[in-house]
Amino acid sequence: MPTAPADGSFGGFVEAARREGRLVVQPRMGMSSPSAMRSGLLATRDARACTVGTLTVDSYTRVGALQAARQALADGVGLNGYPLVTHPRTTTRAVLDGVEGPRFPVQVRHGSACPQDIMRALVAAGLHATEGGPVSYCLPYSRTPLREAVTNWAHACDLLLHARDGGVEPHLETFGGCMMGQLCPPSLLVALSVLEGLFFAQHGVRSVSLSYAQQTHPQQDEEALRALDRLARTLIPDVERHLVLYAYMGVFPRTPEGARGLLEDAARLAVRTGAARLIVKTTAEAHRIPTVEENVQALEAADRAAADEAATARPATPAPDTGIHAEASALVGAVLDLSPDLTVALPRAFQRGYLDVPYCLHPDNAQRSRGSIDAEGRLRWAAIGSMPLGGLVEITDAPRMTSGDLLRSLAHVEQRYDRPVLDRSPTPPAVIAGSGIPPHPTKDGERLASHS
């Protein structure tokens, strides 16, 4: 466990771990029962890994349906996360007492375009780290108008800063690098992560992390993470910051061996690129919400893979430059040209189509861009709409993607990790046969309920 930061801050803990050569690993975890939530945090803390805790908020709370959350608790109905706003402050403090602290900070994860009540509740409970963003927690998860979400998040930043009253520097993580989880070319993920980090900094947050989700091609992901770090150093130089990598957020391998291999590759990618924190996934992701034990196993597997990668000490070989930095720079520059104030610039950029998330159906998204996977497994732009990428992106005259093409693309990573396992098995599981698409939604197919 790294040396605890003097102020007990989340960002300080991660920075201390980085100085000591440790990758911080973190689960997605949230239970409505206070005793179960406390047990999950204790198990995370005691895992044989360098960990931080997660308190994931339930879906009712995320969308502001607080009466429904209260009724569920009154009726004894289990929720898919911890109802932070509904449980009394004393209850949450009892959950955290003796668990959360300088050596084990806890982050609140939610998914809300209207997070003010969540911010008030987490600060009142003595917490000081959370995540999200005005774009990334609006477009995929709600019908809230983007202008309203941007205003909400500006207010939410102000509320989070009250954590400083307790002598701790609050921390905010962008979710912009994880938009839609899949089939979004890396340059847009990088640009959105940087823009949300800059938005936080403009609203007084001095400790941020910038997210990126593992995609379909390891070398492309390396290039993207290095581009993200380079842009952040240039545009957000005066804040404490680190990169956080998410293990793949699309259709996950259904075999334990495939799922474990994908997670271990994420841990190795984080080490190679200097990401300081990894959000893990488990071998149960394709089937159901994982147990605490399965989360602990994933944390420990990721920690072992990270240590193994660090121990090899191979000379760093930069990934080939395929233009991700140039594309992301063009996107960020176009947004900032609209206004230096991102409260104004972000809604205007989406209105003009300068930012356009593939396959995102929110009314404020232009829906003219498309991503696809090429023969090498890299994510490419198939259509750029009005995004300022002309001259940087080569668009081929490929046939329009059909629903079958889309399903095959969504299964690309799952098949790449499961197929070798199935080819070695004398009796492949029937659920993997054919297209590889699971017969029911995966945890990431139920994004509102359980993405975090």
Q: Which residue has the tokens 């790449």?
A: 416
Strands (E), 35-155: 53-56, 106-109, 129-132
- Compute the distance between CA of residue 56 and CA of residue 451 in angstroms, rounded to an integer: 9
Cα 216 to its chain centre, rounded Å, is 16
Residue 130 pLDDT: 98
**What phi and psi, each to the nearest 5 degrees, are found at residue 107?**
-105, 135
Residue 424 pLDDT: 82
Residue 180 pLDDT: 80
Q: Which CATH architecture has domain 10-312?
A: Alpha-Beta Barrel (3.20)
Give domain limits for the chain: 10-312, 324-404
Question: By the 8 A CB rule, do 8 and 105 touch?
Answer: yes
Residue 441 pLDDT: 34
Mean pLDDT, consecutive 10-residue stretches, the chain (452 aa), reads 75 96 96 97 98 97 95 94 97 97 96 96 97 95 95 98 95 94 92 98 98 96 97 96 95 90 96 97 89 96 96 76 96 98 98 96 95 92 95 78 81 84 67 39 33 39
Q: Which residues pair with 55 in a beta bridge?
A: 108
Residue 447 pLDDT: 33
438 contacts: CB under 8 Å, gap ≥ 6: 251, 254, 286, 431
Residue 379 pLDDT: 94
Q: Which residue has the tokens 């941020």?
A: 208
Buried b (16+ CB within 10 A) or exposed e, 176-200: bbbbbbbbbbbbbbbbbbbbbbbbb
Runs of H (alpha helix) within 392-438: 403-410, 412-424
For residue 57, is it left (φ>0), alpha (ψ between -120 and 50) or beta?
beta
**Which tokens belong to 48?**
């044989």
